[in-house]
């Protein structure tokens, strides 16, 4: 992969996974965001990201997206920091609140599988990688 890519872990819990992905892709720039949750409500109260991504292609990697708040808040920060493109790869795409809220912050979403039906409205925004596709190489 080219040098303009940066991988981002959305929180400390994903950092080890993202480092493994970086090694497999031959990428050296791995950054980690952080978030604070209200212990009573579980809601995210703050997200921080201190690294420079201006003009870079960013890939956020994590295991699951349910409602998407973690990624929306991180996507906002990365847009403010003028990332060129922002992609999200998650293993499990639940998308309990749909894709609409994620759309302003991400250029494309990739997931291994999803409970969300792929429709004409979202097929250009999300790619679900089925088990028979996982060994094929992207063009």
Altogether, the residues listed in the chain come to a count of 139
Residues 6+ apart with CB under 8 A from 80: none
Cβ of 49: how many Cβ atoms within 10 Å? 20
C-alpha–C-alpha distance, residues 28 and 22, integer Å: 7
Catalytic residue among 16, 17, 35, 97: 35
Yes or no: say if 99 and 125 are a contact pair by the CB < 8 Å rule: yes
Is 76 among the catalytic positions? no
Helix (H, G, I), strand (E, B) or coil at 78: helix
Active site residue ranges: 35
């Amino acid at each position: 992969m080219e040098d303009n890519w940066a991988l981002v872990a959305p929180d400390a819990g994903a950092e080890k996974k993202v480092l493994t992905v970086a090694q497999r892709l031959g990428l050296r720039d791995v950054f980690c965001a952080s978030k604070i949750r209200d212990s009573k409500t579980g809601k995210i109260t703050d997200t921080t990201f201190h690294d420079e991504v201006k003009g870079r292609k960013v890939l956020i990697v994590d295991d699951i997206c349910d409602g998407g708040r973690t990624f929306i808040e991180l996507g906002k920060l990365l847009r403010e920091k003028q990332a060129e493109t922002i992609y999200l790869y998650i293993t499990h795409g639940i998308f309990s609140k749909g894709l609409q809220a994620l759309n302003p912050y991400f250029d494309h979403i990739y997931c291994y599988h999803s409970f969300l039906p792929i429709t004409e409205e979202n097929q250009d925004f999300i790619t679900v990688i089925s088990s028979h596709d996982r060994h094929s190489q992207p063009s």
